[in-house]
Amino acid sequence: MVKIARNILICIVLGLALEACHPYLRHVPVAGETAPVGSSGDAADDMAVYVDLEDGQKSILVGTDKQRGLELYDLEGRLLQSFPLGRINNVDIARIAGSERAWVGGSNRTDNTIALYFLQKDPLELIPASASPAKVAMSEVYGFCWMAFANEHYAVVSGTEGEIEIFRVSERSDKTLEAILWRQFKLPGQTEGLVFDRIGGQLYLAEENGGIWRWDPAQPGQDAQLLVPLSEQPHFKADLEGLAIYYAQDQVRYLLVSSQGNHRYGVFEIAPNGLDYQGVFRTQATPKTDASQETDGIEIVSCPLGSLFPSGILLVQDGKNTAPGQGRQHQNFKIIDWRDIAGAFSPPLEEKPDCNH
């Protein structure tokens, strides 16, 4: 305790930010970033990744510009194409066995619907996957993720008043997608971050001012369970935003959450009876890129992405994108090497990815 107090005093004397002296706070360098989104203001929000299983370095990053649509980038962050599809807030991608193309889904606030598209790799294109978007009953769509359960595929959408609606999605004989409401429930407050644990079969939800919840689709009649109350987490500060899971070998999984109010990312290991807190980190600027701040959505790829990122990556939205030597830019997305995250912890987190999930 004396040593910690002495270190904090040194920081104060040297004029360093007090937070930088916290012994529990890890700093992880940013490895890269995407080009800024096309719209100004609060525009970038969430990301998903189409993993090229033959050549990981040819994977495609899909980001939301929630003022106008979706933007596609390569792994080095270069803009490939921009699609004006409406005010899509959150996005997710599902690889479906037996389907010729990946499914892209998102929460479209332009018409309060679930937007469904097919991602075609060559030539690169987003193709409407349904004759008409799936309408939701909630007041305003917000979060979105895919869920695979009992050999069926589901689109999960959350609302600004805590509403959760789950649609069963299937591919028709004419190769279009159909979404039919399956379940709905409600959390106490605004909820955006959603992620489905493909090993444990559980849905995790981030209520922005409440905490992290878990819901079991195998027991749809039961209420969601609050696992991590925000009021009991001194290292987090509202809003809790994005959620994502890293799948390591031997069924080890880490759930990450973005703590927007203090620019941090919390790490939990998913355990049979809950979530085991591992620690918290912030991103660190490099000579080429600034650190991320006020992060909204996050995404994780637990697959080797060529020689650049053999253990996968974490993607985070940057709410205050400031290019070195150029000043404030439109918002963008930062890329973090999972090896740098794993190595920042003691003992290190697992970094051998399980790409099968």
Q: How many domains does the chain have?
A: 1
Question: Given pLDDT bands bounded at 50, 70 and 90, which one contains residue 67?
Answer: very high
Q: Is the dihedral of CA 296, 299, 305, 308 positive or negative?
A: positive
The whole-number pLDDT of residue 329 equals 93
- What mean pLDDT is reported for the chain? 92
Question: Given pLDDT bands bounded at 50, 70 and 90, which one contains residue 317?
Answer: very high
The answer as to whether 350 is a domain residue is no
Q: What percentage of residues in the chain have a pLDDT greater than 90?
A: 84
Name which residue leads in pLDDT, 13 or 125: 125
What's 291's DSSP letter? Answer: P
Q: What is the Cβ-side half-sphere exposure of residue 70, based on CA atoms within 13 angstroms?
A: 27
Q: Is the dihedral of CA 31, 36, 42, 48 positive or negative?
A: negative
- Residue 318 belongs to domain with CATH number: 2.120.10.30
The answer as to whether 53 is a domain residue is yes
The phi-psi region of residue 27 (left if phi > 0; otherwise alpha if psi is between -120 and 50; otherwise beta) is beta
Closest Cα to residue 259, out of 286, 285, 277?
A: 277
Of 82-91, 122-131, 153-162, 299-308, the range with the lowest mean pLDDT is: 122-131
CA angle 44, 300, 330 (to 5 degrees): 20
Using a 10 angstrom Cβ sphere, with 0-12 exposed, 13-18 middle and 19 or more buried, the burial of residue 151 is exposed
- Rounded CA gap, 339 and 189, in Å? 35
Q: What is the pLDDT of residues 207-229, one digit of tens each?
A: 999 999 999 999 988 999 999 99
What average pLDDT does the segment 139-155 reach? 96
Strands 274-284 and 25-29: parallel
The answer as to whether 199 is a domain residue is yes
- State whether residue 351 is helix, strand or coil: coil
- Rounded CA gap, 301 and 296, in Å? 17
Closest Cα to residue 146, out of 214, 111, 197?
A: 197
How many other β-carbons are positioned within 10 Å of the β-carbon of residue 79?
Answer: 16
Given a contact cutoff of 8 angstroms between Cβ atoms, the answer to whether 61 and 37 are in contact is no
Q: What is the pLDDT of residues 8-32, one digit of tens each?
A: 444 434 344 444 455 679 999 999 9
What average pLDDT does the segment 72-101 reach? 93
Using a 10 angstrom Cβ sphere, with 0-12 exposed, 13-18 middle and 19 or more buried, the burial of residue 122 is exposed
98 alpha-carbon distance from chain centroid: 26
Given a contact cutoff of 8 angstroms between Cβ atoms, the answer to whether 129 and 176 are in contact is yes
The answer as to whether 206 is a domain residue is yes
Q: What is the pLDDT of residues 262-308, one digit of tens each?
A: 999 999 999 998 999 999 999 999 999 999 999 999 999 999 999 99
Q: Determine the structural domain holding residue 30 and report its residue range.
A: 25-343
- Rounded CA gap, 236 and 258, in Å? 9
